[in-house]
Amino acid sequence: MLKLAIILPTLNERDNLAPLVRRLADALDGPLGADGWEAIFVDDNSQDGTAEEARTLSCTDSRVRVIQRIGRRGLASAAIEGMMATAAPLLAVMDADHQHDPALLPQMVAALESGEADVCVASRFAPGASMAEWNQPTREKQSELANRIARRLTGVTLTDPMSGYFMLRAATLRVIAPKLSGIGFKILLDILATSDTRLTVREFPLAFAARASGESKLDQAIAFEFLVGLYDKTLGRFIPTRFALFGTIGAMGVVVHLAVLATLFRWMGTSFIVGQISAVIAAMTFNFILNNELTYADKRLKHFGELLVGWGKFCLTCLIGAFANVGVAEALVDRGVHWVVAAMAGIIIGSVWNYALSSRFVWGRF
């Protein structure tokens, strides 16, 4: 009888899959029975054939399943999709790179079934845990800092709220799932901060191992998504997170615009029109690059052709937004509204317009 589903988000980890399935079988076949568990690989369209390897494994082992995501990225959203795609009453999330020891899974199952805990977490910082085999002191310090920030801003008191290895009941997850943001690098933090009821958590010391093969999912954009996730849990109810990022980058673009204009017009002696055009192009390019890497990291354009077409569409949407900005401001001034208020209204309308069009026509999926 199916009892546990292990959700494994993957990105270019083909060589890790078969050895990991064997390790899962060694850890779980005894305590749960050979038909008591399944492994669901949620693959973000890896280019090394990870999804195809999972399908090959499933031909000889029906406990292996794969969800291949096209046009979507992100560890948190992958974990949510995987957890919602199983009938198992218990759900575990772990990495597929062999840094997480499957031997902890039976202990977690026992803690949930006994009612001792609502959530079981494999902690890198609990007493008895170790990261000696990982041997990356810089990354270890970064993890400690992220955990301190997470505890301070969310009130979660675990030793490792940023852990990517945890287990909970499916019933608990399904209640919380509609309110999860799916943004950020660590889904556990999202779950604990979102739950309306206080969840009892038990931590298990983890011997954090070195990566077996494949590539780390912690790139510069995903590291930034940690801060995005914290924003979403604290202020996201007031201003949509993606729009807040879009607006923040837009404000930075204004600084770039003024810097380029001052450099060309005031210091290099070009005509104002040349400086202004150059500044507009520089600011739009700056905004496009940052939005592509950060705001729309889950829909990121990668190849040169995609980037070139995307940049052209982004410039066009910004032009339309500029017309909306000017039109609204002019109409309000004509009706006697103070020019500062009219200008701010124009900026807000232009920003919303740019955001809506960019989301649909630059980073949208058809």
Cα separation, 184 vs 231, whole angstroms:
10
Cα separation, 324 vs 333, whole angstroms:
14
Cα separation, 288 vs 282, whole angstroms:
10
What pLDDT does 225 receive? 59
- C-alpha distances out from residue 261 to 250, 268, 281, 312, 323, Å: 16, 10, 11, 22, 21
Residue from 317, 319, 326, 316 nearest 349 by CA: 326
Classified as helix, coil or strand, 322 is helix
The whole model's pTM is what?
A: 0.69
The one-digit pLDDT tens for each residue of the chain (366 residues) are 899 999 999 989 999 999 999 999 999 999 999 999 999 999 988 888 999 999 999 999 999 999 999 877 778 889 999 999 999 999 999 999 888 999 999 999 999 999 999 999 998 887 777 665 544 555 556 556 655 665 555 556 677 777 889 999 999 999 999 888 776 557 888 888 788 888 888 999 888 765 555 555 544 555 565 666 666 666 666 677 778 788 888 888 888 888 888 888 778 877 877 787 788 888 889 999 988 887 787 677 888 888 999 999 998 888 887 787 777 777 887 888 887 777 777 778 878 888 888 888 888 753
What pLDDT does 103 receive? 94
Is there a contact between 143 and 180 (Cβ–Cβ < 8 Å)? no
Give all strands of the β-sheet with 201-205 in edge-to-edge order.
Answer: 64-68, 37-43, 4-10, 90-93, 166-169, 119-123, 201-205
What pLDDT does 358 receive? 87
Is there a contact between 343 and 254 (Cβ–Cβ < 8 Å)? no
**For the chain, what is the radius of gyration of the CA atoms?**
24
Backbone angles phi, psi at 43, to 5 degrees: -105, 130
- C-alpha distances out from residue 304 to 220, 301, 311, Å: 20, 9, 10
What pLDDT does 366 receive? 37
**Cα within 13 Å of Cα(353), Cβ side:** 20
Q: Which two tokens stand for residue 336?
A: 């006697």
Q: What DSSP assignment string belongs to 113-142? A: HTTS-SEEEEESSSTT-B-TTT--HHHHHH
Backbone angles phi, psi at 92, to 5 degrees: -120, 145
Q: What DSSP assignment string belongs to 192-254? A: HHH-SSPPPEEEEE-BPPPP-SS--S--HHHHHHHHHHHHHHHTTTTS-HHHHHHHHHHHHHH
Q: Which two tokens stand for residue 18?
A: 């078969």
